[in-house]
Amino acid sequence: MHSVGLQMQLNAEGRVVQLSGPLRHLLVQPPPGAQAPHLLDFLLPHSNLVIEGSPADWQGQTLDLDFYSLNGPPLHLRGWVQPLADVWLLQMLDIGDLLLERRQSRNREQCQLLAMQIAGQLRLCSLTRLPEMLAEQLQNLAQRFQIPCIALALFDEQEQGWQIHQHYAASDTPQLWQNGQRLGTGLDSLSGSAPQHLNLREHPRLQGTFGNTDGFAVPYQDAQGVVAWLLCGYFTAPQRAPDVTERDWLQITAALACPLLERLREHRHHLQLERLESLQSLLGTGWWEVFGDLGDIQLAPSLASTLNLEATRLPLQNWLAQIHPADREELRIRLQDLQDASTPLLLCVRLHRADDTLAPVWYRLQGQALGVGKSRRVVGFMLDISDIKNQEQNAAAAHARLNNLIASSPAVIYLQRYVEGALQPVFFSDSLMPLLGWTLADCAPGTLVARVHPDDRLQYFERTRQLLRKGSVRARYRLRDSRGGYHWLLDEARLLRDDLGLPVEAVGLWLDVTDATLATEQVRQSEERYRILVEDSPAMICRYLPDLTLTFGNRPLATYLELAPEQLPGVNLGSWMSGEQRDAFIRRLNHLSPEFPVSSAEINLQLPGREHAWWVWSDRGVFDEQGRLLEVQAVGRDNTEVRRSQQQLTQSAKMATLGEMATGLAHEINQPLNVMRMAVVNVLKRLNNGDAQVDYLIDKLTRIDTQVQRAARVVDHLRVFGRRSEIEQQPFNPTLAIEGTLSLLSEDMHDKGVDLRISECGFEVQVRGHVDQLEQVLINLMVNARDALLDKREANPGFKPWISLYTERDTHSVRLWVEDNGGGIDPRLLERIFEPFFTTKAVGVGTGLGLSVSYGIVENMGGKLSVRNSAEGARFCIELPIVVPD
């Protein structure tokens, strides 16, 4: 026995002399002292009553003692005392397992009894008192096991989550839950079907259920899985109820959840039956079931009452006799197919009524076969659809009439259904195809918006918002048809709402207003163009009578004339012109006719505060039925800056021409000076020799005077040629320009070896312009010809250059020809020869402005400057209109 349990040798006083056995290492040793420790020093206080007296008094007794343990829980030992020599031997064995099993068995019995009491009370109480009884049972459990917060959570099939059905919390404990509180799906994270002590770090999803406290959860599982949880908050079962096993917790939870769920399911089933009965009565419907091989049929009581049948079970033939003969045979065949091949039955039939004048009674029959073999059943239901059928027939008739009305309408009638905040097209009348070439499939919400003109999409979206906000809308926008063209549509729509005021659908129509819209737009554009042209145009626009009296003028004209627009009517436009300009202006107006009502010209005016102004002016005559000029509509623009630029350019070109002729002009003046110097030298010699005769002196002085006059003519011509041209053009004889040109260039041409071939003109004609400008044109042509001839002679020393200048005329114009033998101009350059800054000379030699300026001068005189190649060189022609004397 020394190898098991605990052995203590005691003296007569009960003091421990010696310890042995394996259990001695688990004892808590008393503090060391002078004497041996007493047995009481090893025992828990309640064991003192067992060992009163001395060891001799304990002999023959069974001793159950609890010792202090190093592990924490006490050691439960059982033993006896026997004498051993001069000491007493206390032999002890461990009975802790026996005591634990006894305690657990007792707790198990108590839990079973508790579960039976809970289940019995929940099953026996009334349905109305069931929540109160469940709360009492939760309170009893909380008080029995000292649980601060306890609740029963059931699975909500509709919400697919857990919900607190009932709970209890102690008065001094914060409430974790409320009745009806939704817990979501956090409990689904618990695995297994055993009670669990919850560590929120392992189950973070349960923090919303248990907060930040510890908890204990016990599931209840049936055929549908885990359908209930017993939740214990602020509770750790292993420490607070160590003797209650997992099986006991499951049993207690089942005692709560099982009868509760049975009662709740029974109640829901009872409610469903009541609803079904009420629904069958209200709809005039009911179930039916066929027994055997189409022998009998069982009807729901409500259905049998509706059909005026005395019994709920009757032969099938009697039931078929209630059906109209037109539908009876088909129903019988369909029932046979359902019985034989399990073909689902869906059929609408009429009841047989003796009076055919009454409205037919329609029923919808639907049935199916359930199960197989002997358990096979044929069941279905009958539903009274008379109102629906009659409404369908009335609606079909009304729909047919409406279709005829819609089909004959020129407008497109449409229907848009309100779905999730948007209007989706569900119907268009047949006139949609002829108008736009679309079908309903082409008008999906995204497709329809894509067919709206890009400039009108914001307006289309605003139309939809206004329709939903105000209930009606009227808008215009463009839609693209199937051929790619756009139609203007007038869209009028109205929103229909249900009883709650929520949008249901929109009904509207599209009316093609393309022609009217385009006509309106053209009028608007015309008015806008007129306003822009007249009011906002920078051009001068006015109307005046044939005598030049203004009847209207826009702001730019008033600004030029330094008047207000309202001051213009009554002012004569000719008051700013010279007499010659005014007469020419009126003559031009007199040439207007209904066949040629338009005329253009450049006019010169003396405006207030300005030296001169040039306007490019265009007149359009308005005539009556007899062709008389009533009024003139005119448009003009200021051409002053361009004119001045042309004058400056002409003057610059003239100065450049003088610069190029400087050498020849110097020779032209130097030659008379040399002649005069020689004459003076000869006269001085005669005077010095004393041989001065009067006739000789007169001859020399006459010669000197001749040369002075010659030089004076050259200088005077240079002064006339170099000054600016007159503002207004004057008639002159083109021969004067030829003579001036030769006076400046003849000597230079002769000195440089260029032969001038001049044909004398013997006619007297006049052209309108500036004689110095025509002279400038001739100088430019002859200088260009001279330079080209000299370049060619430099390459070919034997070359004999010549320039020919001759004239010709007809009844309308005079032509001046300048021709040379320099080989002509490259044909590829003929088209560009009159372009500004275009030159065929070397870089730095010419400006490229001579021919361009010459072209402008001739054109401004009403003529034309042209060029072509002849057999030996270039041939320029200046053609000018002849001025007819007044």
pLDDT in tens, 423-473: 888 888 888 888 888 888 888 777 888 889 999 999 989 998 899 899 999
Residue 877 — very low, low, confident or very high, per pLDDT cuts 50/70/90? very high
Tell me which of 140 and 613 has the higher pLDDT: 140
Say if domain 122-270 classifies as CATH 2.60.40.420: no
What is this structure's pTM? 0.37
Q: Where are the alpha helices (DSSP H) in 125-177?
A: 130-145
Helix 246-283 × helix 130-145 angle, to 10° = 170
Paired tokens of 449: 């918006």
Return the DSSP state at 160: T
Cβ count within 10 A of residue 74: 17
pLDDT in tens, 373-416: 777 788 888 888 888 888 888 888 887 777 777 766 778 888 88
Confidence of residue 74 (pLDDT cuts 50, 70, 90): confident
Q: By C-alpha distance, which of 874, 662, 858, 877 is closest to 774?
A: 858
DSSP per position, 541-591: EEEE-TT-BEEEE-HHHHHHTTS-GGG-TT-BGGGGS-HHHHHHHHHHHHT
Architecture label for domain 537-638: 2-Layer Sandwich (3.30)
What is the average per-residue pLDDT within 106-128?
87
Residue-wise DSSP of 686-727: HHHHT---HHHHHHHHHHHHHHHHHHHHHHHHHHHHHSPPPS
Tokens (6 digits) for 853: 């300026």
The pLDDT value recorded for residue 530 is 73
Alpha-helical (H) ranges within 23-73 are 55-58
Q: pLDDT band at 71, cuts 50/70/90?
A: confident
The shares of helix, strand and coil residues in the chain, as percent rounded to the nearest 5, are: 45, 25, 30
Identify whether the C-beta of residue 382 lies closer than 8 Å to the C-beta of residue 303: yes
Let me know if 397 is exposed, middle or buried by CB neighbors in 10 A (0-12, 13-18, 19+): exposed
- What top-level class would CATH report for the domain 6-94? alpha beta
CATH of 646-881, one of 3.30.9.60, 3.40.50.720, 3.40.50.10800, 3.30.565.10: 3.30.565.10
Greater model confidence, 720 or 128:
128
Q: Is residue 611 over pLDDT 70?
A: no
Average pLDDT over residues 662-684: 64
- For residues 474 and 465, give the distance between their C-alpha atoms in angstroms, rounded to a whole number: 12
Residue 727's pLDDT band, with cuts at 50, 70 and 90, is low
Mean pLDDT of 283-298: 79
* Structure confidence at residue 604 (pLDDT): 80
| pLDDT greater at residue 294 or residue 564 | 564
Burial of 86 per CB tally in 10 Å (0-12, 13-18, 19+):
exposed
Chain centroid, CA 326 distance in Å: 60
- pLDDT of residue 673 exceeding 80, the answer is no
> What pLDDT is stored for residue 133 in this prediction?
92
Check residue 661 and give its pLDDT: 53
> What is the residue extent of each domain of the chain?
6-94, 122-270, 284-390, 417-520, 537-638, 646-881
- Mean pLDDT over residues 803-809, rounded? 90
Computed from CA positions of residues 792, 793, 796, 801, in that sequence, does the dihedral angle turn out positive or negative?
positive
**Calpha distance 212→203 (Å, rounded):** 11
pLDDT band for 284, please (50, 70, 90 cuts): low
Q: Work out the pLDDT band at 769, boundaries 50, 70, 90.
A: confident
Nearest by Cα to 168 from 187, 185, 186, 143: 143
Q: Report the distance separating Cα 675 and Cα 639, nearest Å.
A: 51
The rounded distance, in Å, linking the Cα atoms of 127 and 133 is 10
pLDDT of residue 166 exceeding 50, the answer is yes
DSSP letter for 47, please. G
Distances (CA, A) of 194 to 190, 221, 229, 246, 822: 10, 10, 11, 7, 123
Q: Strand 802-809 relative to strand 755-758: parallel, antiparallel, unpaired?
A: parallel
Query: Cβ distance 68 to 42 under 8 Å?
Result: yes
Query: Does residue 844 carry a pLDDT above 50?
Result: no
Average pLDDT (554-558) is: 85
Residue 383 token pair: 């539903």
User: According to the model, what pLDDT value does residue 849 have?
Assistant: 60
CA distance 584 to 590: 10
pLDDT at 367 over 80: yes
- Dihedral sign, Cα of residue 716, residue 718, residue 724, residue 726: positive
Beta bridge partners of 649: none
- Residue pair 437/428 in contact (Cβ under 8 Å)? The answer is no
**What confidence category does residue 718 fall into, taking pLDDT thresholds of 50, 70 and 90?**
low
Fold: same for 284-390 and 646-881 = no
Q: What is the pLDDT of residues 193-205, one digit of tens each?
A: 788 777 776 777 7
Query: Which class would CATH give 284-390?
Result: alpha beta
Output the pLDDT for position 259. 92
When pLDDT is cut at 50, 70 and 90, the band that residue 168 belongs to is very high
Read off the DSSP letter of residue 27: B
Tokens coding 864: 């034309």
Residue 728 predicted with pLDDT over 70:
no
pLDDT at residue 722 greater than cutoff 60: no
Q: Is the pLDDT of residue 864 over 70?
A: yes
pLDDT level of residue 820 (50, 70, 90 thresholds):
very high
pLDDT at 715 over 70: no
| pLDDT, position 843 | 42
Cβ atoms of 91 and 1 closer than 8 Å: yes
Distances (CA, A) of 655 to 116, 632, 776, 785: 134, 43, 10, 19
Pick the CATH number of 417-520 from 3.40.50.300, 3.30.450.20, 3.40.1280.10, 3.40.1390.40: 3.30.450.20
Mean pLDDT of all residues in 133-151: 91
- In this predicted structure, which of 96-105, 218-227, 385-394 has the lowest mean pLDDT? 96-105
Q: Which of 628, 667, 635, 642 is nearest to 546 (CA)?
A: 628
Judged by phi (left if over 0) then psi (alpha if -120 to 50, else beta), residue 291 lies in beta
Q: Of 373 and 664, which is predicted with more confidence?
A: 373
pLDDT of residue 26: 83
Q: Token pair 């053209």 is at which residue? A: 522
Q: CA-based angle 363:367:373, to the nearest 5?
A: 155
Q: Is the dihedral of CA 114, 120, 121, 122 positive or negative?
A: positive
pLDDT digits (tens, 9 = 90+) for 408-433: 677 888 888 998 888 888 888 888 88
Whole-number mean pLDDT of the chain?
82
- Residue 656 confidence (pLDDT): 56
